[in-house]
Amino acid sequence: MDATFNVCSSDGVVFQVNLKYGGMSKMVLKLMTELPGFTDAVPLNHIDSAELHWGLKWLEFYFPIMSEKFPQEPHLKNDEVIFLDQMERNVDVLSIGRKFGCSKLSQRYQFWYVFEKIKNGEPMAARDCFNAILADVLRTAMQVDAQRDARQDQQNAELNA
């Protein structure tokens, strides 16, 4: 099962992210169907297109979200595989929003933190970088959802007035 969503950089460039991992994809797909507006391009207001492009390319190289190679590559069966296994069994690892909560693990890894560490030559596990993308996208989607709910409530109140 795969899940596709779009993210939009601070300068208006839209990037498509396609997830092909069973455990994570199911969770993201569930969020996509349960959160209105999540299929829209989610704005990442603090990341410009150059940095977002570079970050996604690095992530694809290290943790290939755009290909199906990962599950078949025996030399990659290390902490990434353990992480994916944990994701399948423990939804709380990346639980986001009203129905899911937001774990400290997700909150810690923001794009700027991940990319700055990489740029400074510090090692960063792929799962941390991947967490940063999902956490930021899903948090923003929750904000978009809450804003739409507030607008709908206001419109309903005006109609009933």
Of 12-21, 114-123, 129-138, where does mean pLDDT reach its minimum?
A: 114-123
pTM over 0.85: no
What pLDDT score was predicted for residue 89? 47
**Does the pLDDT of residue 39 top 80, yes or no?**
no
The larger pLDDT score, comparing residue 16 to residue 150, is at 150
**Does the pLDDT of residue 142 top 80, yes or no?**
no
Number of domains observed in the structure of the chain? 1
**Does the pLDDT of residue 104 top 50, yes or no?**
no
What pLDDT score was predicted for residue 78? 47
Confidence class of residue 62 from pLDDT cuts 50, 70 and 90? very low
Token pair for 60 = 């694809």
Domain that residue 75 falls in:
3-160
Confidence class of residue 16 from pLDDT cuts 50, 70 and 90? confident
**Does the pLDDT of residue 11 top 80, yes or no?**
yes
> Nearest 5°: CA angle at 114, between 72 and 123?
65
Confidence class of residue 57 from pLDDT cuts 50, 70 and 90? low
Whole-angstrom distance, CA of residue 105 vs CA of residue 95 = 10
Whole-angstrom distance, CA of residue 13 vs CA of residue 43 = 10
DSSP 75: G
The larger pLDDT score, comparing residue 35 to residue 11, is at 11
Across the chain, how many H-helices and E-strands are there?
7, 3
Whole-angstrom distance, CA of residue 96 vs CA of residue 131 = 11
